[in-house]
Structure 1
Amino acid sequence: MSKLADSLPVGVLAGAVRFAFGLPAPVRRLITGKPIVVDGQRLHPDAQLLLRLQQLSGQTWETTTPAENRAALTQSNALVCGPVVRGVATRPVRIPRDGGVIPGRVYEPVGLAPDSALLIFYHGGGWVSGDLDSHDNLCRFLALEAGVRVLAVDYRLAPEHPFPAAVDDVMVAFEWAVAHASDLRVDPERIALGGDSAGGNLAAVTALRAAQAGGPTPVFLLLLYPAVDASTRRRSRDLFGNGFFLTDAAMDWFRGHYAPEEESWVDPRLSVLLADDLSTLPPTYLATAGFDPLRDEGEAFAEKLAQAGVPVVLRRHEGLFHGFANVLGLGGIYREAVSEAVGSLRTGLALANARQDVPKTA
């Protein structure tokens, strides 16, 4: 991180970002410069401004060591996540696993009736960074706006715990939530899985493994710019691999820490896009960002889901970049994108509830 990003308190930097976004449009355009158009898409002015401010401050998502990467992500999120979303109570949970526990956090909108739906949310961060705090405000927003309880899962991170430790943890968390639905005050037949980036990967993998195991399965998937194929380099990675937050070098760095053995790159527990049969997955909402190296693999996954007969809604936010879901504090296009995902989640859960109410025929 630069001297400027290091020398000022996070609160001061966050205030400066909010100040910049409050400037008149002509002034903001002077800061951002000429419009950026790539692959027939124009980077949204608010996205371009944020990236420009990041460049000016020198604040980056470092990939030198895991510890520095985690610190950089914490700082980056603090700049843009905004004030704490009110009206949501939280409590910690401890999910037993072989040899230890998985920390979790339950989000419950104040006054929400029991037996609500549950969204289990797996955070992003390249399987190396992120925790319960990095996505706290996003989970609060999802819980409040969707009218559901949310269980955030603090799965083990690489390189201390490489693949498939995270995969095992999130599966354990799903099975635990089903078994403890009454304690969580949720309906065990209305559990959705969701996540952003690496968390989206883990959500899709968990849904597939649950179906393969023949036990309870999630009723909906909420995937935000998921990583779904570690084996293939697609065009969007060449187009957007530098200058749009998530970089080409960072993608290799994350994969190298999480899955250092090349043979694991084609394992469906990592590259879920390569699974032979995706027809058992539940209805899915999948959002991609136009200026994201992960864009093309996410859209290829949505296409394969559709070909397998899975109801899927694919939404490309053309003017945004990877990580937009955590930029709630700046409102505007960022909050609109997350709100759209919330609407899809509400609809998906309502349809799941309607399916439950249909009498079974002999």
Structure 2
Amino acid sequence: MPLNETSAGILAFMNANMPSMQGLTAQEFRAYSAQMVQPADPADRVTMQDVDAGGVPARIYRREEAGAAEPVVAFYHGGGYIACGIDSHERLCSRLARLGACAVVSVDYRLAPEHVFPAAVDDALTAARWVAENGAQYGLDTARMMLAGDSAGGTLATVTAARIRDEGGPAIAHQLLIYPGTDMVTDFPSAREYDEGYFLDRDFSELCLNAYLPDPADRAHPWASPSRAADLSGLPAATIMTAECDPLRDGGRLYARQLQDAGIAAEYIEYPGVFHGFASMFGTIAEADQAVEKAGEVIRRTFA
């Protein structure tokens, strides 16, 4: 189906107001995207504490009424590895803490082009290990821990799960991947169908990939393209959410099938009529409300 009416209206506004990606630098896009900061909704009633997660800045979100130690989600934000951060995803992380009845640790990994691959991957792993080793001091039940992220952050979440499998601990109960990039090499049909005018268009994708992966050979590395890993067995169970009108859709769908083929319990959910990035627009796009409600359900079920 085509974009639904609400999504089409939002995209039309975005396309009319976003700068052209042709000739734009990563730093210029980062400055533009800084306008998209989304503060927490007071109705979610969360407390926030900024911490140093082993040299990686992070922010802990907990529900105001939380008493005993809460299970924890380490969350990695999207932004194409070149933009966004804790502040851009504050609203989403607060909502996940509320709906998931958990704590969320939002990780502010280093960005490209100042810090190229694998800097973000290393920061993601460092932060996850810090949470496991130090979280109890902050009211976190680190025996119940999962990884989550959207877009580039979804990729970092599953790559971190794979590195933990290969390099040792901590135990990860689940991976929640919201429109992750899973294959930076294959030209999927969805990438061709939605290559222009759907926010994550081809020019923007190339801007991000050239900044983060200046060596083209690294695009096939399993830490950048987890679908290309030689072995996906032994990873945590997964929930993968994609948007129908998203260049990354087919890669996410394939990754879910690859996990299933490797014996991993992987649930795949595709939201119709929406575009890349929609999940942060809950309260405006009905499918975004459905997605964050589903994410909360997955978190609660995982930690039950």
**How far apart are 1:67 and its partner, in Å?**
2.3
Q: Is the 8 A contact 1:62 1:68 kept in 2?
A: no
Give the secondary-structure state (helix, strand or coil) at the position aligned to 2:290: helix
Structure 1, residues 190-236: CA drift from partner, whole Å, max 9, x if none? 10000000000000000000011132231110100001111211111
Give the secondary-structure state (helix, strand or coil) at the position aligned to 2:171: coil
Q: Is the 8 A contact 2:6 2:285 kept in 1?
A: no
Number of residue-to-residue matches in the alignment:
303
Structure 1, residues 295-322: CA drift from partner, whole Å, max 9, x if none? 0011110000000110111000021100
Q: Distance in 2 between matches of 1:184 and 1:324?
A: 31
Task: Identify which of 187, 191, 196 aligns with 1:233.
Answer: 187
Rg larger for: 1
* Structure 1 segment 1-362 matched on structure 2, within 5 A: 41-56=1-16, 58-60=17-19, 62=21, 64-78=24-38, 83-96=41-54, 101-330=55-284, 332-350=286-304
Structure 1, residues 226-247: CA drift from partner, whole Å, max 9, x if none? 0111121111100001111110
Runs of 4+ in 1 over 6 A off after TM superposition: none
**Structure 2 length normalisation: TM-score?**
0.95
2:256 corresponds to which letter in structure 1? A
Q: Distance in 2 between matches of 1:256 and 1:209?
A: 24
**How far apart are 1:331 and its partner, in Å?**
5.0
Q: Is the 8 A contact 2:36 2:88 kept in 1?
A: no
Structure 1, residues 313-355: CA drift from partner, whole Å, max 9, x if none? 10000211000121124253322222122212221222xxxxx
Q: Distance in 1 between matches of 2:43 and 2:77?
A: 18
Give the secondary-structure state (helix, strand or coil) at the position aligned to 1:222: strand
Q: Is the 8 A contact 2:124 2:156 kept in 1?
A: yes
Change (3 A) 1:348 1:243: same
Aligned equivalent of 1:6: none
Structure 2: stretches of 5+ with no match in the other structure: none
1:90 corresponds to which letter in structure 2? M
Structure 1, residues 164-185: CA drift from partner, whole Å, max 9, x if none? 0010011000111111131121
Give the secondary-structure state (helix, strand or coil) at the position aligned to 1:241: coil
Mean CA deviation greater in 331-340 or 294-303: 331-340
Higher relative contact order by CA 8 Å / sep ≥ 6: 1 or 2?
2
Q: Is the 8 A contact 2:86 2:108 kept in 1?
A: yes
